Amino acid sequence: MAGLLKDKSALITGAGSGIGRATALVFAREGARVIVADMAEEGGAHTVRLAREAGAEAHFVKCDVSRAKDVDALVAEAVKKFGRLDCAFNNAGIAGSQCKTADYEEAEFDQIIAVDLKGVWLCIRAEIRQFLAQKSPGAIVNTASAAGLVGAHSMPAYTAAKHGVVGLTKCAALEYARSGIRVNDVCPGVVDTPLVDGMVAGRPRLAAALEAAGPIGRKARPQEIAEAVAWLCSDGASFVTGCSMTVDGALTAQ
C-alpha cells in the first residue's frame, strides 16, 4: 500500500511519542509531508528525525492544543511549509489520574477537558477553516477511545472528553459533508504507549488486567492504530465520514 498518501500535506498533534509518532512514520512511508506537533520538543524533534530518515519532509511545531492561538499558528505553519493542508490527525491527549467521579479534583477535570475535548474542537475548527479557504476537500481524524463508546472505571474526565470527541466528530461530519470535508475518529483500546505506561506504573495488577482486557489478549501496537488513521485520511476512504472506527481488539464487542 505504498503511496497511500502520496504528495498529501498532513499535520499530526501529539506526535512526540506513542500513536502520534507511529502515525507520523506511517504517513511518511505512505508519501505524505508531515507537520509534527507536540508540547514535548525533544520527542517531537525525534519524530521528525525518524520521518526524515523514512524519506519524508517533516517539521516540528510546538503546540498547546488547548490554546486557540497555538492551534491557529500550527495550521498556518503547515500551510506556510507545504502550501496547503490535505489531512490532519488530532491526537494530542492526556489521561489524568484514576479515581472515582465523586473524588475527582475540579482542576484536573478542567485540564483534561481542555486538552482532550476543547483541543480537538480547536483543531477541527482551524483545519476546516483552512479547507474551506482552499476550496478543496480535506480529511480529519480525531483520537477518541474505547472510553468514548463505553464507560471506563475511575476515569470520569477522560471518559467524558472522549465521548465528547465522538459526538463532535459526528456533528462536524454532518455539517461539512457537502464541502468534501470528511471527519472521522478512531477508538483505540489499550495501546502500548507512554500514556498507558504512566497509568500502570507501580500498579502490576492493573497492568496485567489491561494487558488481558480484550479478547485478543494483548495491548495494541501504536502502528496498528496508525494504519487505520492513514486509511481514513486517504482517498480510499472517500465515502467514510462520521465514523467511529474501533481499533480495540474486540474490547467493546464484549
Among all residues, which ones are annotated catalytic?
158
Return d(Cα 142, Cα 162) in angstroms, integer.
10
In the chain, the amino acid numbered 190 is V
Q: Is the dihedral angle over the CA atoms 53, 227, 86, 168 positive or is it negative?
A: negative
User: What H or E segment, with its residue span, contains residue 10?
Assistant: strand 9-13
C-alpha triplet 136, 138, 143: angle, nearest 5°: 165
33 residue type, one letter:
R
Spatial distance between the Cα atoms of 98 and 140, rounded to a whole number of angstroms: 30
Q: Which residue has the cell 491527549?
A: 93
Q: Residue 165 in contact with residue 143, Cβ under 8 Å? A: yes
- As a whole number of angstroms, the distance between CA 193 and CA 1 comes to 25
Q: Which of 158, 148, 163, 139 is nearest to 90 (CA)?
A: 139
Computed over its alpha carbons, how large is the radius of gyration of the chain?
Answer: 17
